[in-house]
């Protein structure tokens, strides 16, 4: 099997739906500004949706359908865009996550999505620059919460290992409820949670988050996410390096029992 580097392209449903909005709008002689006014969006937002860069919201599809006389053709796209509620950069990874038999995750700055409370996810997604519209925020928060079914609902259970750099827990967004959520998940039989304290960090631990995904065919993929780009790679060399780094970080981290006590002390101090 070839070892591609997976590109983060916009989902096909976004691109096709946006293209159809533009085609129907042009056919009906409705300007982008008129549609923006009717939907209470900025014209630039409509443009980004038409180009597939941004998910066309269900509300926009309904308004465009009525304004352009599409007779349900645009509204029908809601079913498909709702399936693509993740950012374009994350779509490939989410697909692999759904099929995974094991996940090794290291996070240097943020609580991983599978461990977030709704309040934490809301704060994180709602504080983006440029900001997302309210509907998109709600869609992405809901999608993130649904992903967490992997913790308990898969049979056989998915093996999950998380290592969190101490800085993750020191964020102002991490409240007592989020700490309690970490303790709750750490109690699951298929989950190993570890904290890497400041004093135990090695250089590679500061270079960014990493995830190692193993599928049912035992193929391993490495996922690395940065501020402006993400990479999902099946390249054997990349996977080997990520595996080595994750293994080293895990040996430096507190064991699960020490981690639980570490988090419990943070709860008592909060």
DSSP string of 10-35, one letter each residue: PPHHHHHHHHHHHHHHHHTT--HHHH
Tell me, what's the pLDDT at 4?
40
Count other Cβ atoms within 10 Å, centred on residue 107.
21
- Please give the helix or strand (H or E) that residue 215 lies within, else none: strand 210-215
Q: 52-65, pLDDT tens digit by residue? A: 888 888 889 999 99
Q: Which residue has the higher pLDDT, 258 or 12?
A: 258
The predicted-structure confidence for 74-87, as pLDDT tens digits, reads as follows 999 987 876 555 55
pLDDT by residue (tens digit) across 133-180? 787 788 889 889 999 999 999 889 999 999 999 999 999 999 999 999
Look at residue 147 and give its three-state secondary structure: helix
**Measured distance CA(234)–CA(96) in Å, rounded:** 11
Q: How many CB atoms lie within 10 A of CB 55?
A: 28
Q: How far apart are CA 201 and CA 164, in angstroms?
A: 11
Report whether pLDDT(88) > 90.
no
Short-list 91, 74, 259, CA closest to 182: 259
Q: How many CB atoms lie within 10 A of CB 105?
A: 21
Structure confidence at residue 235 (pLDDT):
92
pLDDT at 1: 33
Helices vs. strands in the chain: H and E counts, helices first: 12, 7
The kind and range of the H/E element at 87 are none
The predicted pLDDT at position 89 comes to 59
Per-residue pLDDT band at 2 (split at 50, 70, 90): very low
- State percent of the chain over pLDDT 90: 65
Using DSSP bridges, classify how beta strands 191-196 and 100-107 pair: parallel, antiparallel or unpaired: unpaired
- Residue range 98-114: mean pLDDT, rounded: 95
Using CA atoms, how far apart are residues 101 and 94, in angstroms rounded to an integer? 13
Average pLDDT of span 121-134: 86
pLDDT of residue 29 exceeding 80: yes
- What's the pLDDT at 13? 85
Q: What is the mean pLDDT of the chain?
A: 89
**What is the rounded average pLDDT of the residues 226-232?**
73
Q: Given this model, what pLDDT does residue 240 score? A: 95
pLDDT at 98 over 50: yes
Residue scoring higher pLDDT (125 or 2)? 125
- Domains and their CATH numbers in the chain: 10-81 (1.10.260.40), 91-269 (3.30.870)
Per-residue pLDDT averaged across 97-122, rounded? 95
Burial class (CB in 10 A: 0-12, 13-18, 19+), 148: middle
Pairwise CA distance, residues 41 & 93, whole Å: 30
106 DSSP β-pair partners: 163, 210
Give me the half-sphere count of Cα atoms (radius 13 Å) on the Cβ side of residue 94.
21
Query: 212 pairs with which residues across the strands?
Result: 104, 222
Instruction: Tell me how crowded residue 178 is: count the other CB atoms within 10 A of its CB.
Output: 19
pLDDT tens figures, 186-210? 999 999 999 999 999 888 888 899 9
pLDDT of residue 11: 75
pLDDT score recorded for residue 7 = 44
């Amino acid at each position: 099997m070839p070892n591609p580097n997976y590109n983060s392209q916009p989902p096909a449903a976004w691109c096709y739906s946006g293209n159809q909005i533009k085609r129907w709008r042009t056919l009906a002689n409705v300007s982008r500004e008129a549609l923006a006014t009717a939907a209470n969006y900025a014209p630039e937002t409509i443009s980004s949706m038409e180009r597939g860069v941004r998910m066309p919201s269900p509300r926009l599809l309904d308004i465009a359908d009525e304004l352009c006389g599409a007779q349900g053709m645009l509204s029908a796209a809601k079913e498909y865009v709702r399936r693509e509620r993740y950012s374009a950069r994350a779509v490939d990874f989410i697909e692999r996550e759904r099929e995974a038999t094991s996940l090794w995750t290291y996070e240097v700055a943020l609580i991983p999505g599978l461990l977030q409370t709704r309040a934490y996810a809301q704060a994180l997604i709602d504080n983006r620059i440029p900001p997302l519209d309210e509907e998109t925020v709600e869609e992405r928060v809901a999608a993130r919460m649904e992903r967490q079914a992997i913790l308990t609902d898969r049979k056989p259970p998915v093996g999950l290992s998380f290592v969190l750099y101490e800085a993750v827990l020191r964020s102002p967004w991490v409240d007592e409820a989020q700490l309690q959520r970490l303790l709750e998940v750490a109690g699951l039989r298929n989950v190993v949670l570890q904290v890497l304290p400041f004093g135990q960090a090695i250089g590679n631990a500061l270079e960014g988050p990493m995830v190692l995904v193993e599928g049912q065919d035992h193929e391993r993929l490495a996922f690395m996410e940065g501020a402006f780009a993400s990479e999902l790679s099946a390249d054997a060399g990349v996977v080997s390096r990520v595996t080595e780094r994750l293994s080293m970080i895990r040996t430096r981290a507190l064991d699960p029992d020490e981690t639980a006590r570490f988090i419990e002390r943070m709860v008592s101090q909060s």
